[in-house]
Structures are given as structure tokens and as C-alpha cells.
Structure 1
Amino acid sequence: MGQRAVREALAGGLLSQPWRGVVMRAEDALKLSTRAEAALLVVGRPVVLSGPTSLALQGITAAESSNIHVTVPYERRIKSKPGLVVHQGCYRPTDVLEIDGLETFPIDLALAEFLCDGDRRTLFAAMDEAMRGLPPDHCRRLQENVRERLADRRDRRGIHRASTLLDLATGKAESPPESILRLVVVESGFPVPEPQYEITAIDGRVVYRLDMAWPSRRIALEYDGYVAHEERQDRDTERDARMAARGWITIRAVAADLRDPGRLLKELQDAFRRRSA
């Protein structure tokens, strides 16, 4: 294009420059793969996409972030920039795979790295999502692979937290908010609930599937996404009444409860107190 044309395109908003030394079409600036490729060009080899960026490229929506995360060898002294987070680590060529031409960590290594560093809720939801839909033996294998990656880490910070979250993940949550809700409940001191617990009729048919439940106490916890709840509020009210007739207490959580769980935890505490009595 030539220097003048590039400057005019930047000034006119046709091109975008996320970091010095690289430009992209403005219409592609929100594409993860484009920003990831730009980050690799800026940092220069050896470098690999890592953490939440690697997970997001592999379809883990809970890990999506506006920042691009990369890892470089310990001997490289590269500073982070706004929107570009640079980590230092030790990895082998066999630890790198290519996705659409972009060098990135495989999912087990990315999960191990992410579990040790970041927001507990986000990283737990990412682990749960990575396991979602996998057969039980594949879930166990993924957990074993992540555990092996944790054992190989040179940096031991966050290992205990990562192992705890890894043990709690089941892959049965239907959305990241459900995973976060489960973590909130367990970290508040309640027993670990059973995810996707099935209520069956006398002939064995599945009547209801609960987001999570404590069957021995007949307490159910349901997460209502805003849109879903608005569309089926009357039906949910009727369902709760039918569950009450079976001896169940149903507590419903909404998105606001993830930010401030005080109301939810009090209702749960009251329900457990009633069942204990």
C-alpha cells in the first residue's frame, strides 16, 4: 500500500493498529484469530498462544477475554502491553500444536496454566466446559492429563487451587454460569451438589432434570438465565409446585446472585436448616 496509504487508512478507520509494528483491517479487529496472529507477529518467535487465548481458540467460551495471552521462554524478556499479556514459561516443541496456522498450547496444557493463574470462577467454568459432552472415560483422561501437566510445572504457585478445582469439575453443567453457581455454593461451605440430577416417574421416565441437587435432603437449585426465565416463568412456577408435592424445596438463582450471592445463600441455609430439623 505504501506508507502514506497506510497512514491514511489508519486515520480514516479502515485499518487498526493494536500494537506498534502491526496493522489489520478494522473490520477484523474483533476477531480472536486475527488479534492472536497480530500478537504472535509483535512478540516474534519463539512464542506460543497460551492460557485463555488458547482455550478460546479451541471453543472454550468461558475463557474468552479481550486480552491476548502468549508464553515465551524464560530467557526472553518481553514486556506485556495493553491488550497483550506476556507470560514466561518452559515448554517443548511437542507442547505446541497449530490451529488455523496459529501456534498454541494443547487444551490440557492450556487448562493447567489457566487453572493456576486467574479468576477462580472463570477458570473453573472453563474446566467444566472443556469436559462438557465428553464420555466419562474421556473426562477422566482429560483430568489426568491436566493433573500431569500440573505436576510438571516449574512454577508451583496456584497448584493446590488448581487441583481442588480440577477435582470439583464434572463437565455436566450446561453453561458457564451454572459452573460458577456450583463453585459459589461449595466455597460457601455447602456439601457438593449432584449436577443434572434426574427426577423420574414410577415407570422410570425422566420427569425433570435439576441443574443441581442434594437428593438426601430433597433440595434443588436451579439457575435461570434471564431470557430463558422470562419465557418460561409460569411453567417454572408450576414445576416448582409439582416438585414441592414430591417433598422437594426448589431454590432459583439468577445472574445477579452470581455477583451478590447473599440472598441465595440465605435461602439455601434456611432450606438446609429445615431439612436438618
Structure 2
Amino acid sequence: MGQRAVREALASGLLSQPWRGVVMRAENALKLVTMAEAALLVIGDPVVLSGPTSLAVHGISAAASTKIHVTVPYGRRIKSKPGLVVHQGYYRPMDVIEIDGLATFPIDLALADFLCDGDRRTAFAALDEAMRGLPPDHVRKLRENVRERLEDRRDRRGIHRASTLLDLATGMAESPPESVLRLVVVEAGFPVPEPQYEITAVDGRVVYRLDMAWPSRRIALEYDGYAAHEERGDRDADRDARMAARGWITIRAVAADLRDPGRLLKELEDAFHLRSG
């Protein structure tokens, strides 16, 4: 285009320059693949997408972030920039794959790293999402692969946390908030709940499927996502009443409870106290 045309396009907003040295069509500035490619160009080889960006490239929505994360080998002193987070770490050429032409970590390595040093809740939700929908043997294999990656890490920081999260994940949560809710109640000291617990009729027909439950105490915990439940108040109340007739206590959580779980945890504590007598 020539420098003058580029400057004019930048001034008019037709082009965007996220970092010095790269320009893109402004309409693509919010696209993950475009921003990731720009980040790789800015940093230059050797560099690889990592952390939440690597997971997002693998299709893990729970890891979506407005910042691009990359890793360079130890010895490359590259500073982070606004919107671009540069990590240093050890990795081998065989640890890098390509997705849509972008150098990135395989999903098991990306998960292992993020479980160690990423946001705890986001990392757990990403792991659960990666397992979701996989056959049991594939879930088992993914868990084994992530565990092997953890064992191979030179940086041992965060290993215990990552292993704990790895053991807790099931892949059965229907959404990232459900995964976070499971983590919240377990970290609060409650027993690990059974995910997607089925309530059956006498003939074996499934009547209800609970997000998570403690069957021995007949306590159910349901996550009410806004889109799914905004017009289902009466139906949910009727279901809770039917569950109560079966001897179940149903506690419902909403998005606000993930930010401030005090109310939710108090209701759970009261329910457990009632059922422990």
C-alpha cells in the first residue's frame, strides 16, 4: 500500500495497529486468530501461543481472554506489551503444533501449564470443557497425558494445585459456570458432589437430572444460567416442590453466587446440618 496509504488507513480507522510492526484490518481486531498471528509476527521465532490463548485456539471457550499469551524460550528477553503477555519457559520443538497456521502448544501441555499458573477457576473450567463430550476412555487418556506433562515440568510451582484440579474434573459440567460452582463448593470444604445425578422413576425412567448432588443426604445443587432460566421460575419452583416430596433439598445458584458465594454456602451449610442430625 505504501507508507502514506497505510498512515491514512490507520487515521481513518480502516486499519488497526495493535502493536508496533503489524497492522490489520480494523474489522479483524477482535478475531482471536488474527490477533494471535499478529502477536507471533511481533515477537518473531522462536515463539509459541500458550496459556489461555493456546486453549482458545483449541476451541476452549472458558479460556477466552482479551489478551494474547505467548511463550518464548529462556534467554529471550522480550517484554510484554499492552494486550500481549510474554512468558518465558522451556519447551522442545516437538512440543509445538500448528492450528490454522499458528504455532501453539498441544492441548494437554497447554492445560498443564494453565492449571499451574493460570487463574484457578478459569483453568478448572477449561479442563472440564476439554473433557466434555469425550468418551470415558478419551477422558482417562487426556487426564493421563496432562498428568505426564505436569510430571515433566521443570518449574514445580503450582504442581500440587494443578494435580488437585485434575482429580476434581469430570467433563460432565454443562457449562463453565457449572464447573466453577463445583470448585467453589469443594474448596469451601463440602464433600465432592456427584455431577449430572439422575433421579429415576420406579420403572427406571429418568425423571430429573441434577447439575450436582449429594445423594446420601438428598441435597441437590442447581446452577440457573440467565439465558436458560430467566423465564422458568414457576417451572423450577414446581420441580423443587416435586423433589421435596421425594425428600430432596434443592439449592439454586446464580451467576452472582460465583462472585460472592456467601449466601449459597450458608444455604448448603444449613442443608448439611439438617441432614446430619
Return the TM-score normalized by structure 2.
0.99
1:199 aligns with 2:199: yes
Q: By how many angstroms is 1:141 displaced?
A: 0.6
Aligned residue type for 1:165: L
Give the superposed CA RMSD.
Answer: 0.6
Q: Deviations over 1:63-100 (max 9, x none)?
A: 00001011111121111111111111111111111111
- Residue 6 (structure 1) shift: 0.4
Structure-2 separation of matches of 1:97 and 1:218: 47
Partner of 2:16 in structure 1? 16
Aligned to 2:60: 60
Structure 1 distance, partners of 2:100, 2:151, is 30
SS in structure 2 at match of 1:231: coil
**Is residue 117 of structure 2 the alignment partner of residue 117 of structure 1?**
yes
Query: Aligned partners of 2:227, 2:94: CA distance in 1, in Å?
Result: 44
Alignment of 1:149-188 (within 5 A): 149-188=149-188
Question: Residue 41 of structure 1 corresponds to which residue in structure 2?
Answer: 41
Match of residue 190 from structure 1 = 190
Q: Residue 88 in 1 paired to residue 88 in 2?
A: yes
Matched AA of 1:34: T
Does the 8 Å CA contact 2:68/2:85 hold for their aligned counterparts? yes
Identity of aligned residues (%): 87
Deviations 1:218-271 (A, max 9, x none): 000000011211121111111000000000000000000000000000000000
The CA distance in 2 between the partners of 1:231 and 1:96, in whole Å, is: 46
For structure 2, the residue ranges without an aligned partner over 5 or more in a row are none
Aligned to 2:146: 146
Match of 1:229 in 2: 229
Deviations 1:165-221 (A, max 9, x none): 000000000000000000000000000000000000000011000000000000000
Instruction: Name 1:129's counterpart in structure 2.
Output: 129
Aligned to 2:75, the other structure's residue is in SS state coil
Aligned to 2:32: 32
**Unpaired segments of 5 or more residues in structure 1?**
none
Q: Secondary structure at the match of 1:22?
A: coil
1:95 partner amino acid: D
2:254 and 2:262 map into 1 onto residues whose CA distance is 12
Q: CA–CA distance in 2 between the matches of 1:81 and 1:166?
A: 31
Residues of 2 paired with 1:50 and 1:230: CA distance? 36
Q: What SS is found at the alignment partner of 1:195? A: strand
Aligned residues: 277
Counterpart of 2:272 in structure 1 is 272
Residue 204 of structure 2 aligns to a residue whose secondary structure is: coil
